[in-house]
Structure 1
Amino acid sequence: MSATKARANQRSASAKPAAADKGAGSLKWLIAVTVALGTFMDVLDNSSVSVALQHIGGSLGASQDDVTWVITSLLLAEAVMLPLAGFLATAIGRTRLFAGALVLYGISSLLCGLSSSLTMLLVFRVCQGLCGGVIPTMAQAILKDSFPDSQRGQAFALFGVATVVAPTIGPLLCGWLVDTYSWHWVFFVNVPVAFFAAFMTTVLVRDPPELVKAKAAAWAKGLRVDVLGLGLLALGLSSLQFVLSRGERNDWFGSGLITGLAVASGVLLVAGLIWETRAKNPILDLSLFRSRTFASAILIMFVVGVLLYGSSTQLPQFLQTLLGYRPVDAGLVITPGGLMLIALLPIVGWLTGKVQARWLIMLGMGISSLAFFNYAHTLSTLVDFRSVAEARLFQALGLGFLFVPINVAAYVGLPKAKTNQAATFINLAQTVGGGFGIAAIETIVARRSQFHQSRLIDGLVGTNADYTSSLQQIGSTVFNGAGSAVDAMQHAQAVVLRSVQQQATTIAYDDAFWVLSIVCLCVMPLVFLMKPNKPGAQESGAGAA
């Protein structure tokens, strides 16, 4: 009888952990959806507002140049907050920080939509940026600590939907909201999402014991803010973001302001990094870069930011300015790529449990290089909708094999106490990389357009039979309708010049995609510096290579 009772107790005891595991499994996926939702909202807003700038400027009576501050102000605020995110998580708690940032983001979005002047809008965009510097970083850190190493790839796949897919469908959603309602709804749509994600965070998420102990220890020692380090890094990063976002518009180093801020950002960032290596309580823990795996992952993530944001902003620009697409139509072209990523990322997440992350990264970079090579041979003034959509699908295939494996590789060998700092560096790399990517593509297109236009015009001389024939054909068409022969010839020359400018700009876009293709190839050798992870196995979390 006692033996039977003992066996029954043993079965009951073994059943409890199984039920607990099942409940914990459901809980962690609810957490994953919650933090991914908050991040999706933030990234979607950042990547889509540019589509509404013309409407915002017209509504608020702002010039096209002034209204671009709607984007620049947010980038500057994010640059200030990004280095501080890890410290704040230790100081006030990661869950509290994430939920608070979501609530403030929702309030800021509401006030952005209600703004009646450009000044009001810029103030609340700064508030959005301060919150946006926290949300993706804390979301990634929460995900990392909520899942075991064997399932982390699948978790990061869901997070990847937020950070990689949002920029691809953002222009489409924003274009639809603006065309159907008004630019105000680009901001209003964030409000319910932010409040819902904040509520779910407070219900589901708890800080891990390691973070709770770190918070208690920090306060017990007398919490101190590295004011000098924060000031140097915040000013350096905000100056850098200003240079990247306004450089091309102000003729780069032909502008005294851009030159001065570029020098200042370099000096401030170098000084800040040197100070952080010596500070007792640094804002950024640079000791993480002693791991060649982590350092390589951060550099590759920087390049992913270049590839993702550089192409996602410039491809719609090409379609709208050269091919005459509406914003909604331009968004529709790149949407199939986003749908592919939604389908592909869970598969890649599963593969990270079977294949070493570094080999998946190499595959993704190889595919991306071929995809940008394909862009350079596909884009023309005669390209059709289907060809561009297929080229975007090709690029999405490469991106799908990058984001998740990079995040998995970055955390190899890192203890939980370093999670917040690691997430800060990962998001900082992607954000700054995105700024570099947009600025680089804009500059290449502008400079190469001038070069190709000059070369094409050099060939338009009187001895060129094709040029002479085109002028005569266009001139005769105009002359037969109305006007003098001189007017007809001037009109014909203007038509030819517009065609030359269009061709020159198209070739310049091809050049830009050539550059991105080469960048992908140059980055591939970095994977050999990474420490091999053990797919499907638990990492010990000690040490780094």
Structure 2
Amino acid sequence: MNPTKAFPPPLHGGQLILASIAVALATFMTVLDSSIANVAIPNISGNLGVSVDEGTWVITVFAAANAVSIPLTGWLTQRIGQVKLFVGAILLFIVASWLCGISPTMPVLLTARVLQGVMAGPLIPLSQAILLGSYPKHKSAMAISLWGMTATVGPIAGPLLGGWITDSYSWSWIFFINIPIGLFAAGVTWIIYRDRETATRKLPIDVVGLSLLITWVASLQVVLDKGKDLDWFSSPLIVALGITALVSFAFFMVWELTEEHPIIDLRLFGQRNFLGGTIAISVGYGVFFGNLVLLPQWMQEYLNYRSVDAGLVTAPLGFFAVIMAPIMGRVLPRTDARTVATLGFIGFAFVFLMRSQYITEIDTWHLVLPTLLQGIPMPMFFLALTSIILSGQPADRLPAAAGLSNFVRVFCGAVGTSLAGNEWNNRTILHHARLTEQASIYNPVFNQQIDALKALLHSDTQSAQALFDVTLSAQAAMLGLNDIFYLSAGIFILIIPLVWITRPAKRNKAVSIQDAHA
């Protein structure tokens, strides 16, 4: 392929606008699907006849599959071509979305979500690359800002759209909505970019490394998702999967460090900035995303919020994030990214401390306020740590660094969701047991409460005790969730030192990303 075709000139005018909209919609669709199901989990679980805990697998399997497919993007791009891979991934994402919507059982839905997650992996990095190649080099910051705005709107629209669609129509439509969006994005992208395909070449694929990666990720995810139901390591299946995950992970580490063309370049962790920044952003994202999944579940299960109402409460998350993102884009080149990231961690910790004071009688405003404020530290957290991770990387290693850090971050999101759900269940059981200890006929306060309920309900003792148990369960769940929020605040404070083991980032983030896709 000749150089002119390999490096086509930037787009202009209406063609650039239409292309930007199409590529942005593909990004929006992908980000949307990482959060749109959050508020629909109780409905999906009830409709398919499974517990809410099992329903959460709809989120975790998508994230795990997404994480595994991200490292393959570079190899697939060079084998297939940037445009063909992007359009093909969109079309297969549409097919997976359709399969999700028509799924009659949970196993079928989970299989479709895995396919959807695999197809989503290449879309985010490719959308960045295609946008940057469409704009003149001096407008690369504008291209990245557009991409960032689109990626930020997804978490706002996801819970809101998911709640409204689930309540007004059916949970299936949260997946069907991808079909018209994806068809438009794929069609316009192909029309505009089909003659701007990148050069292709045959490269070896690290089959052993990929097989080991899939094995340990899948085994670990099943352990985390099924462990509680099977009583953890008293189950032979969990023991076998745990050993499989451990052994395959160990072999994966050894293989990738010695392979000439590794699927994941683990040598990047030998660099201080990459190590500290990747661990910080991944642990922080795991905590953040895990809490983002629990909050609407709690509101629907214990506060009797409709799906759309839970979506309205969580949607303000992106309000300040959209405003702050371009501000951070201007501030970061002139400021120590470590200071900005630290402020972001402190902001997250403050928000989780606010949530740790929730009570069962909480009003909507006090649910919305922390979510609204959480949008302020979000761009500080993501943009500053991305700048730290990519800073100092030579141009030829930027794609590998961006891919590996995104893999670890997205996978930690899946792990964080599973761990948060398990810990909430454990803490709820603990608080329920402690509260039940006080529910004794020898406790005069308990007897007074039962008498008051009998008078209020004009019913017998059995009915009053049943209502008391419902109230006690709601209180136990609230106390358990408060524990998760309090622990989350502590984690964000504890990982701040990871930011300060890094060196000051000297390069502009937009330039780094542009170099990564040049």
Normalising by structure 1, we get a TM-score of 0.82
Q: Distance in 1 between matches of 2:271 and 2:351?
A: 31
Shift of the 262–157 alpha-carbon distance from structure 1 to 2, 3 Å rule, reads farther
Q: Distance in 2 between matches of 1:234 and 1:22?
A: 38
1:463 Cα offset (Å): 4.9
Aligned residue for 2:377?
Answer: 398
1:92 has 2:80 as partner: yes
- Unpaired runs of at least 5, structure 2: 1-7
Aligned residue for 1:232?
Answer: 212
- Asked if the contact 2:132/2:514 (under 8 Å) is kept, the reply is no
Task: Look up the equivalent residue of 1:503 and give its one-letter code.
Answer: Q
1:325 Cα offset (Å): 0.5
Q: Distance in 1 between matches of 2:193 and 2:332?
A: 25
Aligned residue for 2:462?
Answer: 490
Q: What's the C-alpha RMSD, in Å, of the aligned pairs?
A: 3.5
Q: How many residues align?
A: 506
Shift of the 499–67 alpha-carbon distance from structure 1 to 2, 3 Å rule, reads closer
1:281 has 2:261 as partner: yes
1:329 Cα offset (Å): 0.4
Q: Distance in 2 between matches of 1:455 and 1:152?
A: 58
Aligned pairs (5 A) from 1:269-348:
269-348=249-328
Q: Distance in 1 between matches of 2:34 and 2:512?
A: 35
Aligned residue for 1:186?
Answer: 174
The equivalent position to 1:525 in structure 2, one of 481, 494, 497, is: 497
Task: Look up the equivalent residue of 1:526 and give its one-letter code.
Answer: L
Q: List per-residue Cα deviations over 1:322-368 (Å, max 9, x = no partner).
A: 11111110111111222222222222222223223222111101111
1:50 Cα offset (Å): 4.6
Aligned pairs (5 A) from 1:85-234:
85-114=73-102, 121-140=109-128, 156-202=144-190, 212=199, 216=201, 219=202, 223-234=203-214
- Asked if the contact 1:236/1:265 (under 8 Å) is kept, the reply is yes
Q: Distance in 1 between matches of 2:353 and 2:132?
A: 35
Deviates more, 1:112-121 or 1:292-301: 112-121
- Asked if the contact 2:274/2:390 (under 8 Å) is kept, the reply is yes
Q: List per-residue Cα deviations over 1:345-396 (Å, max 9, x = no partner).
A: 222222223223222111101111111111112x110110001100111222
SS of aligned partner of 1:47:
coil
- Asked if the contact 1:83/1:230 (under 8 Å) is kept, the reply is no
Shift of the 288–402 alpha-carbon distance from structure 1 to 2, 3 Å rule, reads same
Task: Look up the equivalent residue of 2:269 and give its one-letter code.
Answer: F
Q: Distance in 1 between matches of 2:79 and 2:173?
A: 35
Q: Distance in 2 between matches of 1:290 and 1:31?
A: 39
1:242 Cα offset (Å): 2.2
Aligned pairs (5 A) from 1:507-522:
507-522=479-494
1:90 Cα offset (Å): 3.1
1:405 Cα offset (Å): 1.7
Deviates more, 1:272-281 or 1:21-30: 21-30
1:440 has 2:440 as partner: no
- Asked if the contact 1:456/1:500 (under 8 Å) is kept, the reply is yes
Q: Distance in 1 between matches of 2:304 and 2:513?
A: 55
1:31 Cα offset (Å): 6.6
Q: Distance in 1 between matches of 2:385 and 2:196?
A: 23
Q: Distance in 1 between matches of 2:365 and 2:415?
A: 29
Q: Distance in 2 between matches of 1:446 and 1:58?
A: 19
Shift of the 143–526 alpha-carbon distance from structure 1 to 2, 3 Å rule, reads farther
- Asked if the contact 1:160/1:345 (under 8 Å) is kept, the reply is yes
- Asked if the contact 2:32/2:155 (under 8 Å) is kept, the reply is yes
1:36 Cα offset (Å): 4.0
Shift of the 322–383 alpha-carbon distance from structure 1 to 2, 3 Å rule, reads same
SS of aligned partner of 1:509:
helix
The equivalent position to 2:476 in structure 1, one of 504, 529, 534, is: 504
The equivalent position to 1:473 in structure 2, one of 447, 452, 455, is: 452
- Asked if the contact 2:155/2:317 (under 8 Å) is kept, the reply is no
Q: List per-residue Cα deviations over 1:431-465 (Å, max 9, x = no partner).
A: 11111221222122111112222222223344543
- Asked if the contact 1:28/1:146 (under 8 Å) is kept, the reply is yes
1:412 has 2:391 as partner: yes
1:383 has 2:355 as partner: no
Deviates more, 1:379-388 or 1:181-190: 181-190
Q: List per-residue Cα deviations over 1:7-34 (Å, max 9, x = no partner).
A: xxxxxxxxxxxxx999779998877655
1:117 Cα offset (Å): 6.3
Q: Distance in 1 between matches of 2:283 and 2:240?
A: 26
Q: Distance in 2 between matches of 1:452 and 1:58?
A: 26
Aligned residue for 2:437?
Answer: 458
Q: Which has more radius of gyration?
A: 1
| Percentage of identical aligned residues | 33
Shift of the 258–372 alpha-carbon distance from structure 1 to 2, 3 Å rule, reads same
- Asked if the contact 1:336/1:392 (under 8 Å) is kept, the reply is yes
Shift of the 150–430 alpha-carbon distance from structure 1 to 2, 3 Å rule, reads farther
